[in-house]
């Protein structure tokens, strides 16, 4: 067995979830290629005195359920999944779907109903368990990254097993700065956006929740955002690839949304009354992730990027926005993507993807590798 898988299992159980004796751990996996890692996770949880449980998922079966689902059926699904999650201290999810577009032809009404009805399960997992979610390298992911499987595996293990302790320490000055910041301005190609993050608080993501990791997030004051943002990375959501997304925002609300399928994006943003407001603003800093591959867990960590998220905010950076939607959309500010700047209270903190303040220089890619 590849020794890198063993190292990854150690990171997930001991660092990301810090599993303790007697703690119940739900290991959720999808795709045959994830089985070697899932087996190692079970062994590792047992070895530290934890109690492992397994959930097997399959997108092709989920699609069949969704095509005919009714609200009562989904309410019961939410009930039993929530009861299961209430018993867990930790949650480890590994995903390696053979077809990332498997849900692309599920009608928006069914997809939105599913998202809204089962949102309590995700909310409880995010806010009340120790959790980590990751993808696992397979041919489908390699194709998304436009790489051979071998090259993608080498990239994947570099990204997923970097020195997160070093990254965590480098994040502290950015967290401190965001905690005392009021006004934020984001600029770039066809983008000029202002909002406030005053009093919300910043949270560093340093390998304890997602693998790969590498972001610091907060949330905008709900009605404070004004301007335009033209996202320069594609986003795959519910199996459909959205591209060339442009939002025009007034007093926090997306007033106009365009992309390669305007009808579809507006259906998504109409899932509920709060889906057109924003629940997260984050800065990506992973030095190994430089280009989008239509996988949010990777793309939102891209060095020199930000992501600005329509929908729900997290409890630890709560701005009052609750929604069934939480859609991380990425805007890269490095020169090859058109450049851009981040300003905090009229002070430039990052230009063309590189931090310029002395205390933030350790977060630049050459210092994190």
Token pair belonging to 275 = 């889906």
Chain centre distance of CA 139 = 21
**Of 331, 68, 295, 285, the residue nearest 169 (C-alpha):** 285
The pLDDT score that the predictor gives to residue 178 is 98
Instruction: Tell me: pLDDT of 318 over 80.
Output: yes
Tens digit of each residue's pLDDT (9 = 90 or more) over 125-145: 999 999 999 989 999 888 888
Sign of torsion over alpha carbons 299, 284, 133, 245? negative
pLDDT band with cut points at 50, 70 and 90 for residue 111: very high
Burial 299-327 (b: 16+ CB within 10 A, else e): bbbbbbbbbbbbbbbbeebebebbbbbbb
177-180: long-range contacts (C-beta < 8 A, 24 or more apart)? Answer: 177/344, 177/349, 177/357, 177/359, 177/360, 178/202, 178/216, 178/218, 178/344
> Residue 217 and residue 212: Cα distance in Å, rounded?
15
Per-residue pLDDT reduced to its tens digit, 170-221? 999 999 999 999 999 999 999 999 999 999 999 999 987 788 899 999 999 9
How far separated are the first and last CA of the chain, in Å rounded?
A: 26
Band of pLDDT at residue 45, cut at 50, 70 and 90: very high
Closest CA to 300 of 215, 184, 359, 209: 215
Mean local confidence (pLDDT), 262-266: 96
Mean pLDDT for all residues in the chain: 95
Closest CA to 315 of 69, 126, 154, 175: 126
Phi, psi of 349 (to 5 degrees): -110, -25
pLDDT of residue 161 exceeding 80: no
How far is the CA of 117 from the CAs of 94, 272, 325, in angstroms? 23, 12, 11
Ordered domains of the chain (ranges, CATH): 3-160 (3.40.1830.10), 164-368 (no CATH)
Average pLDDT over residues 244-268: 97
The Cβ of residue 14 has, within 10 Å, a number of other Cβ atoms equal to 13
């Amino acid at each position: 067995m590849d020794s890198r898988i063993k190292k990854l299992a150690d990171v997930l159980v001991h660092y990301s979830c810090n599993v303790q004796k007697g703690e119940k751990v739900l290991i959720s996996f999808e795709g045959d290629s994830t089985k070697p890692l899932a087996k190692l996770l079970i062994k590792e949880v047992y070895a530290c005195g934890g109690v492992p449980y397994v959930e097997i998922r399959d997108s092709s079966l989920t699609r069949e359920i969704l095509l005919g689902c009714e609200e009562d059926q989904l309410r019961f699904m939410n009930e039993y999944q929530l009861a299961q999650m209430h018993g867990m201290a930790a949650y480890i999810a590994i995903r390696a779907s053979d077809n990332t577009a498997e849900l692309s032809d599920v009608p928006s009404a069914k997809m939105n109903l599913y998202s809204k009805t089962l949102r309590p399960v995700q909310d409880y997992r995010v806010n009340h368990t120790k959790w980590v979610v990751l993808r696992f390298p397979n041919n489908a992911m390699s194709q998304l990254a436009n790489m051979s499987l071998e090259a993608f595996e080498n990239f994947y293990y570099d990204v997923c097993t970097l020195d997160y302790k070093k990254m965590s320490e480098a994040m502290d000055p950015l967290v401190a700065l965001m905690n005392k910041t009021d006004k934020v301005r984001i600029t770039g190609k066809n983008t000029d956006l202002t909002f406030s993050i005053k009093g919300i608080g910043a949270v560093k993501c340093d390998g304890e929740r997602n693998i790969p990791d590498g972001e610091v997030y907060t949330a905008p004051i709900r009605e404070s955002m004004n301007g335009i943002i033209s996202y320069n990375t594609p986003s795959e959501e519910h199996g459909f690839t959205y591209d060339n997304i442009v939002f025009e925002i007034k007093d926090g609300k997306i007033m106009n949304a365009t992309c390669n399928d305007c009808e579809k994006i507006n259906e998504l943003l109409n899932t509920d009354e709060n889906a057109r407001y924003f629940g997260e603003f984050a800065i990506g800093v992973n030095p190994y992730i430089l280009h989008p591959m239509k996988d949010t867990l990777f793309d939102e960590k891209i060095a020199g990027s930000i992501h600005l998220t329509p929908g729900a905010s997290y409890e630890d950076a709560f701005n009052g926005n609750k929604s069934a939607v939480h859609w991380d959309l990425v805007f890269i500010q490095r020169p090859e993507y058109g450049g851009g700047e981040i300003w905090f209270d009229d002070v430039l903190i990052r230009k063309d993807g590189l931090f310029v303040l002395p205390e933030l220089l350790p977060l630049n890619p050459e210092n994190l590798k």
